[in-house]
Homo-oligomer: A and B are copies of this chain.
Amino acid sequence: MSEVRRDPIIGRWVIVYKPENSLGPADYEKSVHTLKQGAVCQFCNGREAQTPPEVDAIRAGYAPNTPGWLARVVPNKFPALRIEGELNRRGNGVYDMSNGVGAHEVLVETPDHAKNFADYSLDEAVNVIKMYQSRSASLGRDKRFKYIMIFKNFGQSAGASVEHAHSQIIALPLVPKYVAEELEGAEKYYGFRGRCVFCDMIQQEYQDQRRIITSNDGFLSFCPFVPRYPFESWIFPKDHNSDFVSMQDLEREQLAGILKDVLLRMKICLSNPSYNFYLHVKPVDDDNKSYHWHIEIVPQLTRVAGFEWGTGFYVVRTAPSVAAEYLRGAIK
């Protein structure tokens, strides 16, 4: 159904659908652009039979695939990568490629159809984090997978194609480029200075104060000094922490709280924007101690255009100190 291909110049990996599964021009005109709204949502309570059987859930004593769940993970009906089969890595002239093997799951975060994460109860938010951890641990045991990527698209401008509150979990047969670059950069910095570059960054944010949005006992959120997008916001564990999966109850509540908090500030301050967030964690089976996991949140306020596509150089028209001031001011 799909292949994983690597360009021979800069080492970018791409998942490409096979010809027989490819979308034609007409498919893009309507379906891809439009957020499906509607009375009949396959992710709502009572419609469990419309999804593939669940692979994980938080529910109070009912049978799997029946109503009454609080959060529910199901395989994506239209997965970018398929769970079956071997990778079969091979060359094709100047290119490298493999079969599109991986996992692509949907976490239905709450039965409440179109609820914004910003408006979740603390329990609802904690359930989401729990499922992130549980799927990461479970998929990480499959030896074919090198990286578990967790992300959320909220709203049409953020690329969401389904309205019901959900996240996606993709298990990849290799470590994606941006994460690999971060790991390499962090390792180099650690080798050179003996310190975690993210910890140094956090300390610099505390000293400067201007870009801090909010914090609690365990976590800090700030607008990064070198953002790619206006109002981009990051959340870090305050203390050095390279292991997302082993986080316990207290930290989980703290993380759920600050994530809700930052998203609510964005909702207030930016008029309920579309947004993406994603986790950057270390690869499966990597006990690299120099990495510091975190969440990056990107409200979708602008269109990335030719300059950014061509250069990887971003133009950000709101200084992060200004963005942080707005976000701080959104909730007093």
Interface residues of A, Cβ cutoff 8 Å to B: 2, 5-19, 21-25, 27-29, 32-33, 80, 92-95, 149, 151-153, 156-160, 168, 170, 172, 176-179, 181-182, 184-186, 189, 197-198, 200-201, 204, 207, 224-228, 230-231, 269-271, 276-280, 296, 298, 301-307, 309-323, 326
Asked if residues A269 and B10 are in contact (CB atoms below 8 Å), the reply is no
Asked if residues A296 and B278 are in contact (CB atoms below 8 Å), the reply is no
Q: Which residues of B contact A226 (CB under 8 A)?
A: 5-7, 12, 14, 16, 95
Known A94-B204, A278-B309; further 9 A-B contacts with Cβ < 8 A: A7-B224, A16-B226, A16-B320, A18-B319, A22-B318, A23-B230, A93-B200, A151-B307, A276-B305
Task: Work out how many copies of this chain go into the complex.
Answer: 2
Choose among B5, B25, B322 the residue that contacts A326 (Cβ–Cβ < 8 A).
B25
Choose among B15, B29, B317 the residue that contacts A316 (Cβ–Cβ < 8 A).
B15
Choose among B9, B186, B307 the residue that contacts A185 (Cβ–Cβ < 8 A).
B9
Q: Knowing A276-B309, A306-B278, A307-B149 are in contact, say whether A16-B178 is a contact too (CB < 8 A).
A: no
Complex CA gap A48/B110 in Å reads 57
Asked if residues B201 and A14 are in contact (CB atoms below 8 Å), the reply is no
Asked if residues A280 and B310 are in contact (CB atoms below 8 Å), the reply is yes
